[in-house]
Structure 1
Amino acid sequence: MSDWPLSTHLAHLRHALTLAQSCPPTTTAFSVGAVLVSPRGSVLSTGYSRELPGNTHAEQNALTKLLPATPPAGSVLYTTMEPCSERLSGNTPCLDRILFPENRGITVVVVGVKEPSTFIAENVAERNLKDAGVEYLYVGGLEGEILEAATKGHGKKKKEEDTA
């Protein structure tokens, strides 16, 4: 959990980063990876952006793939980018999904980067998770790699506009 060594947190974030790097690129969303870990440290489920049909997010996919099971008490959710608190598509934000009663076993959310304001002006996940009693832990060290994976495809739109 949060008292695990930094090396453990980084290993799970690197796993999430590998998942993020496998996302189909797009100009309209970030590519994110998520790993749900049991209190004993074993991987329960993984997900990445757009892995499942329907404009799905990484955390959403990790939780969906765990069904019909639910996260056991003391579970840790690792995500390369903090969970979204608003979705322009109208879909349920990942923050809300984490706070659903059936997911109350998630007691720690570990993030590799804050959500840039590219699509949403202010992400309130950190505040809302803390208010709900869920520990929010920022683990630095992979920001450059995470942002590179998260924004793959974003530069393509700009380059196309420049050559048009």
Structure 2
Amino acid sequence: MSNTSNTDVHMYFLGLALDEARKCKPTPTAFCVGCVLTASLTDSSEPVILARGYSRELPGNTHAEANALTKARRLSKEELRELLPSTPEDVTIEHVLNRADVYTTMEPCSVRTSGLAPCADALIAAGIRRCFIGVGEPDDFVQCEGTRKLEDAGIEVVWTRGLEQECLAVARTGHRSNT
């Protein structure tokens, strides 16, 4: 990805998140969302992918962002050092997550009708630094305030322009009305 603009890099990772969303098993009562979690330990280093996730990938009616965080936390110290070779010996995944960016096809949820913890809360607890979003969550099921929660917690939110319609169409796969 060298010699590419920041916008190109962000669109690239959001495109990978969209690929993840397409892996979701459609259901009429939930969105198909994809997520890519990246990190770079210095501002000048190229970001690397820590983990990817999509809705319902892991057992328990799970969401994309929570799945990516779960998979990142499963990385061994050796795997973390392979991904980030200049990583100090004593680095933890929690330290890396403080330098991480999340690329998600849809605004992280602020409410879960299933009773599980919302993705916005999980991202806040992980200390993510930035969240790049493809499209806002429509009010199909709940009123989402994920962006507000992230911003209130000091996480930079970036609305990535250009893939909104595609993110929404994939999200609503399996719904009776794909409007």
SS in 2 for 1:18: helix
By how many angstroms is 1:74 displaced?
Answer: 2.1
CA distance in structure 1 between the partners assigned to 2:166 and 2:95 by the alignment: 28
Identity of aligned residues (%): 46
* Paired letter, 1:85: S
Cα distance between partner residues in 2 of 1:116 and 1:11: 24
1:112 to 120, 134, 140: 134
Report what 1:19 is aligned to. 20
Q: Count how many residue pairs are aligned between Structure 1 and Structure 2.
A: 149
- 1:32 counterpart letter in structure 2: V
Asked if structure 2 preserves the Cα contact closer than 8 Å seen for 1:85 and 1:96, the reply is yes
Instruction: List aligned pairs for 1:22-41, cutoff 5 A.
Output: 22-39=23-40, 40-41=46-47
Deviation at 1:88? 0.5
Instruction: Give, as a single letter, the amino acid of the residue that structure 2 aligns with 1:126.
Output: T
1:99 Cα deviation after fit: 1.1
| Aligned counterparts of 1:147 and 1:125: Cα–Cα separation in 2 | 16
Question: Partner of 2:81 in structure 1?
Answer: none
1:69-88 equivalences under 5 Å are 69-70=93-94, 72=96, 73-88=98-113
Q: Corresponding residue for 1:126?
A: 147
CA displacement, residues 73-109 of structure 1 (integer Å, 9 cap, x when unaligned): 3210000001000000010000111111xx11x1000
Q: TM-score, normalised by structure 2?
A: 0.80
Q: Distance in 2 between matches of 1:152 and 1:92?
A: 24
> Can you give the 5+ residue segments of structure 2 that lack an aligned partner in the other structure?
41-45, 75-92
What one-letter code is carried by the residue in structure 2 that aligns with 1:138? W
Pairs within 5 Å for 1:45-64:
45-64=51-70
Distance 1:62 1:28, change over 3 A: same
Ranges of 4+ aligned residues in structure 1 off by more than 4 Å: none
Q: Please give the alpha-carbon distance, in whole angstroms, between the structure 1 residues aligned to 2:170 and 2:21.
A: 6
| 1:127 Cα offset (Å) | 1.4
Unaligned runs of 5+ in 1: 159-164
Q: Say what the alpha-carbon RMSD is for the aligned residues.
A: 1.3
Q: What amino acid is the match of 1:50?
A: R
Are 1:38 and 1:71, in contact at CA under 8 Å, matched by a contact in 2? no
